[in-house]
Amino acid sequence: MENVENKDNAWSSRIGFIFAAAGSAVGLGNIWRLPYLVSKHGGGTFLFLYLLFSFTIALSVLIAEFTIGRYCGAPVISNLRKKIKGSFIVSKLIYIYPLALIFLLSFYFVVSGWTLFYFCKSIIGAINYSHADTAYYTSIFNNLLVSPYTIIGFTILFVLLTGIVVYIGISGIEKINFIMLPLIFILLTIVIIKVLTLDGSMSGIKYIFSFDPKFINREAITDALGQSFFALSLGSGTMLVFASYAQKNYNIKFSAIQTTNFGVGVGIFSTFLIIPAAFAFNVDINSGAGLTFITLPVIFSSLPLGVAFAAAFFLVMVMAALTSTISVLEVCAVFLADALKISKKAAIIIFTIFFIVVGSVQALSFGIFSHIRIFGQNTFDFANMMVNFLLVVGGILSCAIAGWLISKKDLYNEITNNGLIAFKSFTVWRGMVKFIIPFVIVCIYIFSN
Ligand code: PHE
């Protein structure tokens, strides 16, 4: 895994690299998190902010992370120390990345567990898809949240599944993505078409396109910024590690654009599915983290062959979540192995055990542990908030490394494959990464209210 020269571990092709990166990017962040953030912040206004940040700030940071990763090569952390100026401080600061990832996985495994629950229950016929009754599906979700054994069981199952795949080795995950990514778009498209024919769905579409400056406040802006990093796995070292396995002839800029298109595309499709459907079926638009999980079954119940759609859709969600958790656990293990000078396999085992414990605690944060509050929030929402913040801080670090600590010549040569690939906006991009993005982000955090 640590050696690019080892054919098994580098991505098998350029497209393979894009699919691996897109597989990490496309996950519950796009399918589950974006729709509920859109509804939390009043609809289109949030979507506008999210798209703005995604195609300016996030895309630029992704290009920076791909470039740093491939410039250093695997193993990325020790190479970072060797190749980057000021590496003493940098080698300490990069622990922001795994810190963000630990917070992330702590709740991500729980939501992944929800998807596994819905998949298993759908396939064994324990959820009835033959009548559309919003109250019934709402109660399934609410019961799940307060059933300690079920929810812990599915969370642990997902942690183990991830641990085993990462232990065996991640080469080949791009092959899962070759099937999963097109399948997501196909399923989403079919179901969206159905939803748009329903009475009431147009109010949802109007809501998605609505723009009202009164919704632009500090929380909406930081949520949109955080989500644009979350959805593309930025600020977490993930894309750095992935790119360190990439070969020297891949086109970084093109790969970054495609990865962004995939990530943002799935998010937009999901939003156009969940929100209009929630309007059509009178699902409470403020259901928060439950919005996607309550709305989807209601949609399936309105379709012919609802069970088949439910099983297929939840399976795709499980796969999307799994390709993301795999990438995160892989990166956590890379960091731990480097810090403790232990083997990566040992690090994977340690993290798997760690997440079984932490994931179980988080799984109960809506039920018997809901009284545990940090800054007024349950531990699930607190971790969610920390991730938003830490990914952005990690993103600034990536900008600092690319913009300030790698020479302009090296940076140019890495992105353009020594001049073979044109990058006309190189100077603009480098200016963004070096000055504009860190400045804008700091201003957002200091001045927005
Ligand atoms: N991008 C993933 C998603 O949208 C989450 C993720 C964030 C994965 C950061 C890796 C690192 O679900």
Each residue's pLDDT tens digit, 137-151:
999 999 999 999 999
* pLDDT at residue 326 in the model: 92
Q: For atom 9 of ligand 1, which residue has the closest CA?
A: 233
For residue 135, what are its two tokens?
């109250």
pLDDT (average), residues 269-274: 96
pLDDT (average), residues 423-443: 97
pTM (2 d.p.) = 0.94
Q: Is 153 exposed, middle or buried (0-12, 13-18, 19+ CB in 10 A)?
A: middle
Give yes or no for a contact between 347 and 333, defined as CB atoms under 8 angstroms apart.
yes
For residue 278, what are its two tokens?
């929630």
Q: For atom 7 of ligand 1, which residue has the closest CA?
A: 233
For residue 234, the ligand 1 atom closest to its alpha carbon is 9
For residue 328, the ligand 1 atom closest to its alpha carbon is 10
Comparison of pLDDT for 241 and 6, the residue scoring more: 241
For residue 30, the ligand 1 atom closest to its alpha carbon is 4
Helix or strand or coil: residue 364? coil
Q: How far, in whole angstroms, is CA 283 from its chain's centroid?
A: 25
Confidence of residue 133 (pLDDT cuts 50, 70, 90): confident
Half-sphere exposure of 262 (CA within 13 A, CB side): 27
Pocket residue to mutate for ligand 1, from 26, 238, 242, 266, most atoms within 8 A of Cβ:
238
Which are the contacts of 88, defined by CB distance < 8 A and separation ≥ 6? none
* Integer Cα distance of 434 and 426 in angstroms: 12
Comparison of pLDDT for 304 and 53, the residue scoring more: 53
* pLDDT at residue 335 in the model: 94
- Per-residue pLDDT tens over the stretch 170-221: 666 777 888 888 999 999 999 999 999 999 999 999 999 999 999 999 999 9
How far is ligand 1, taken at its centre, from the CA of residue 129, in Å?
30
Backbone angles phi, psi at 439, to 5 degrees: -65, -50
| Exposed e or buried b per residue across 289-304, where buried means at least 16 C-beta atoms within 10 angstroms of its C-beta | bbbbbbbbbbbbbbbe
Which are the contacts of 448, defined by CB distance < 8 A and separation ≥ 6? 217, 218, 221, 222
* pLDDT at residue 10 in the model: 65
Which are the contacts of 76, defined by CB distance < 8 A and separation ≥ 6? 69, 237, 240, 241, 244, 334
* pLDDT at residue 119 in the model: 97
How far is ligand 1, taken at its centre, from the CA of residue 328, in Å?
8
Helix or strand or coil: residue 213? helix
How far is ligand 1, taken at its centre, from the CA of residue 203, in Å?
30
Question: Given a cut of 60, is residue 44 above it in pLDDT?
Answer: yes
Q: For atom 6 of ligand 1, which residue has the closest CA?
A: 233
Q: For atom 10 of ligand 1, which residue has the closest CA?
A: 233
Question: Given a cut of 60, is residue 5 above it in pLDDT?
Answer: no
Eight-class DSSP state of 288: G
Pocket residue to mutate for ligand 1, from 114, 327, 331, 390, most atoms within 8 A of Cβ:
327
Give yes or no for a contact between 335 and 98, defined as CB atoms under 8 angstroms apart.
yes
* Integer Cα distance of 121 and 198 in angstroms: 26
pLDDT (average), residues 77-101: 88
Give yes or no for a contact between 137 and 298, defined as CB atoms under 8 angstroms apart.
yes
Confidence of residue 13 (pLDDT cuts 50, 70, 90): confident
End-to-end CA distance of the chain: 45
* Integer Cα distance of 417 and 141 in angstroms: 50
Confidence of residue 388 (pLDDT cuts 50, 70, 90): very high
CA distances from 163 to 26, 35, 104, 238 (A): 19, 28, 16, 16
How far is ligand 1, taken at its centre, from the CA of residue 232, in Å?
6
Pocket residue to mutate for ligand 1, from 230, 264, 326, most atoms within 8 A of Cβ:
230
Pocket of ligand 1 (CB under 6 A): 24-25, 27-30, 104, 230-231, 233, 236, 238, 324, 327-328
Pocket residue to mutate for ligand 1, from 107, 111, 227, 233, most atoms within 8 A of Cβ:
233
pLDDT (average), residues 154-182: 87
Phi-psi map region of 234: left, alpha, beta (phi>0 left; psi -120 to 50 alpha): beta
